[in-house]
Amino acid sequence: MSDFSGYKPARAYEALGDEAGAPFYDAVEAAAFPKHVIRYRNQCWAEKVGLGDLSDGGWADHFGRFAPLPDNFQQPLAVRYHGHQFRTYNADIGDGRGFLFAQLRDGEGRLLDLGTKGSGQTPYSRFGDGRLTLKGGVREVLATEMLEALGVYTSKSFSLIETGENLYRNDEPSPARSSVLVRLSHSHVRFGVFQRLAYEKNETAISDLVDYCVRHFYPALETKTGEDKIVAFYRGVIARTARLAAQWMAAGFVHGVLNTDNLNVTGESFDYGPWRFAPNADPNFTAAYFDEAGLYAFGRQAEACAWNLAQLGGAFARLAGHDALNDALQSFGDAYEEAMAAAFFRRLGIERSDADDFTLVVALLRWMNETGVGFEQIFFDWFCADAERAAQSPMAAIYQDEKFAAVREKLTAVKPVGADRLSHAYFQGKTPTTMLIDEVEAIWAAIAEGDDWSAFEEKLSAIAAMREAYGFEASQYCALPRQD
């Protein structure tokens, strides 16, 4: 059997720009690493994109040494972009330790990207070494696995390979072990790509990139032209970004660094640095130690996304009217409220009524914040609104408290969705699978101190069971592009 049975190469992004890639990307070379030890291989997603039959040697060749995949990019592409970082514009960034390695299609025809993190220096590395610590790679795998299980539209950690170098970092004990990560995602078109093109006053390139995005991610808009296409595309990005922010809230997730270069046009969560899962519904909970003002705190993520969308609109203002763009931006609030109801009801396994759904979300979050109840526990206990099961929880007493009465009344008045899921072994326990910072640090400590990967593997197995129990499909939201 061929190692590439079912693999469907695509080279869509490479077709943008001139022969050298300007103004969209630069062709680069991957770093040469002294060793290649596979630490994580996403076999599930590898099979979905026709790469599941690769031997371990072939896997290391393509995702550690970056030998080109058949009929794919012959050189990796470092994508050019700018961005607002903590709301300060930075024109000196781009793919500084990663690149777009390949593009392919899955069995449903969707265009997918294979991008890297820690693959070496590029023209945008500035003073960085272009590397990723092994701890950073492990953390990204844990984040994406957990988010996918909780139904968040996220990039997938595809491969993690330890690379045998000693790295020096200010925020980790050094020398630190090195790694290279490959992520699978539906797009690497960040808001900052458009910002750079606007900064360069390149209206033609903006229009070309909009056409690319519409063709591959918003095909229903292909019949539109000119300003109508740009505004419609902008509305689509707004709606998807609102949905992503709501899904983070329903998962209790704090991204940590919501700069404009860390949001993309498909509304897909990616690029995990100082992320955290909130222990409880504290709106002021932050993930990054350097976010002293709480700009990207748990409860301010929607605000951050809206601000970033406004900057994206500013880039489009070179080709579309301000009034039309501003009108589109005003749709964020309603889109976010609707997405919050959808995300929370989905996580609770209950049927939407579309009448007063958002009030339940508000009441639940307010009660969670006031009581400090464990974030994941409430969704585990009340999945499918099963009051009898909640009564068996370690938290049963608090559910009888008068303060919970209004939430309980709303929960017990709705219909469950897929109540048969409660028969899964995952729901027979008393506590849910979580990914709090102490757990992450304990997993890493075992690796760092004794090269013991058992806790890492056990956590991935627990997440897999949770994913199976909930039955969420994190990629079901992506519109299918037209197949060529």
Domain ranges of the chain: 8-191
Mean pLDDT to the nearest integer, 123-143: 97
- The Cα-based distances of 255 to 89, 274, 286, 361, 387 in angstroms read 20, 7, 9, 21, 32
Helix axes 322-329, 226-251, angle to 10 degrees: 20
Supply angle C-alpha 452, 453, 459, rounded to 5.
135
Mean pLDDT to the nearest integer, 128-150: 97
Give the model confidence (pLDDT) of 433-444 as tens digits. Answer: 999 999 999 999
Please give the mean pLDDT across all residues of the chain.
95
Task: Determine how many CB atoms are found less than 10 A away from the CB of residue 147.
Answer: 26
Give the model confidence (pLDDT) of 35-72 as tens digits. Answer: 999 999 999 999 999 999 999 999 999 999 999 999 99
Tokens of 243: 């949905």
Which among 159, 157, 162, 156 is positioned nearest to 132, based on CA atoms? 162
Q: Is the pLDDT of residue 332 over 80?
A: yes
What percent of the chain stands above pLDDT 70?
98
- The Cα-based distances of 182 to 40, 98, 99, 160, 454 in angstroms read 10, 9, 10, 7, 22
**pTM for this model (two decimals):** 0.96
Residue 444 exposure: Cα atoms within 13 Å on the Cβ side: 21
- The residues, ordered by sequence, that sit 6+ positions from 315 with a Cβ below 8 Å of its Cβ are 191, 194, 195, 197, 198, 206
Mean pLDDT to the nearest integer, 405-423: 95
Give the model confidence (pLDDT) of 229-246 as tens digits. Answer: 999 999 999 999 999 999
Which among 276, 88, 115, 283 is positioned nearest to 190, based on CA atoms? 115
Which among 479, 433, 427, 445 is positioned nearest to 145, based on CA atoms? 433
Bridge partners for 102 per DSSP:
114
Q: Which amino acid is located at 243 in the chain?
A: R
Q: How far apart are CA 149 and CA 156, in angstroms?
A: 11
Mean pLDDT to the nearest integer, 455-480: 82
- The Cα-based distances of 446 to 181, 273, 337, 449, 454 in angstroms read 20, 20, 42, 5, 8
Give the model confidence (pLDDT) of 274-296 as tens digits. Answer: 999 999 999 999 999 999 999 99
Give the model confidence (pLDDT) of 154-208 as tens digits. Answer: 999 999 999 999 999 988 889 999 999 999 999 999 999 999 999 999 999 999 9
Q: Is the pLDDT of residue 479 over 50?
A: no
Residues with catalytic annotation? 261
Between residues 246 and 110, the one the model is more confident about = 246
